[in-house]
Amino acid sequence: METTINNAGLIKVKAQLFKSYIDNICNIQSTRILLGYTQQELSFLLGKPQNYVSDIETFTPGKEYTVTDIFRMSQIFKCDPKYLLGENFKSDSKVEVGVYQYLPDEDTQCTEAYLFMGDKNRVLYTFMEDISYKTMSDELRKSLINAVISYSESYSFNGGAEACGIFLYSRNLLKNKMRPQDLQLVLNLLVRIPGDYKLKTIIHDGRVKYVRIQPQIKECEIDN
């Protein structure tokens, strides 16, 4: 793999990869973009570091989706896992892939990338990765906190709950009136700020999970 960067903040990556692998990544990426999920949001829902999806979509060596990832994404995207795997693509021939990616700009707060095969004149698609965030309302914040509490009462947090499960439950409860970014902020709030309902994060099987911290019960002295 060849990687270069110039003064304009343009990353250029070239690699020789199997076409079937490229097809799968492109299929998942186009689905993600069509449904309005950012790379960072999907990484969060998969319980992975925020650059997890970005590394896979830019064909970073050694980075690829697992079977569990595919199953989780089929739930998030509401589709059959076979659709994400692109079973119609059978070619294993190697092709040259290039990714031209502009680093996030402080003014536009977005990343623009171009993916092509063979040469940069044959562009497969372009996409704009919007990483800006609109502040959620107090009403939505309270509703999300209540949804997390409701989820923990319905599905035990003792062994740890993944963001994906909490998101699917909250999305259904709130009739899709939320984004993964909203849930991430609420979960971070419940982890950082002391209160009667508090969470902590653990890493299990390489994924972030949220565990309920039970409040300590203070023993009361009884006067004889």
**143-165: average pLDDT:** 88
> How confident is residue 129, by pLDDT bands cut at 50, 70 and 90?
low
Q: Helix count (H) and strand count (E) of the chain?
A: 8, 8
* 148 and 176 share one domain: yes
* 14 and 60 share one domain: yes
CA distance 138 to 142: 6
> How confident is residue 172, by pLDDT bands cut at 50, 70 and 90?
very high
Instruction: Note whether residue 219 is domain-resident.
Output: no
- State pLDDT tens for residues 1-40: 444 545 445 444 454 556 667 778 878 888 888 788 888 9
User: Partners of 110 in the beta sheet?
Assistant: 130
pTM metric for this prediction: 0.73
Residues 148/190, Cβ–Cβ less than 8 Å: yes
pLDDT of residue 217: 46
CA neighbours closer than 13 Å in the CB half-sphere of residue 138? 0
* 97 and 203 share one domain: no
CATH code for position 205? 1.10.10
CA distances from 2 to 12, 16, 60, 95, 113 (A): 8, 10, 11, 14, 17
* 89 and 108 share one domain: yes
* 149 and 123 share one domain: no
CA distance 32 to 29: 5
CATH code for position 17? 1.10.260.40
pLDDT of residue 215: 59
Among the candidates 83, 100, 130, a domain finishes at 130
* 26 and 52 share one domain: yes
Question: Over pLDDT 90: what percentage of the chain?
Answer: 33
CA distance 199 to 193: 9
> Domain containing 60: what range?
2-130
**101-106: average pLDDT:** 48
* 122 and 153 share one domain: no
* 7 and 118 share one domain: yes
How many domains does the chain divide into? 2
* 86 and 40 share one domain: yes
Instruction: Note whether residue 224 is domain-resident.
Output: no
* 148 and 63 share one domain: no
Task: Between 156 and 93, name the one with better pLDDT.
Answer: 156
pLDDT at 73 over 70: yes
* 123 and 17 share one domain: yes
- State pLDDT tens for residues 48-68: 999 999 888 877 778 889 989
pLDDT of residue 89: 42
Instruction: Note whether residue 23 is domain-resident.
Output: yes
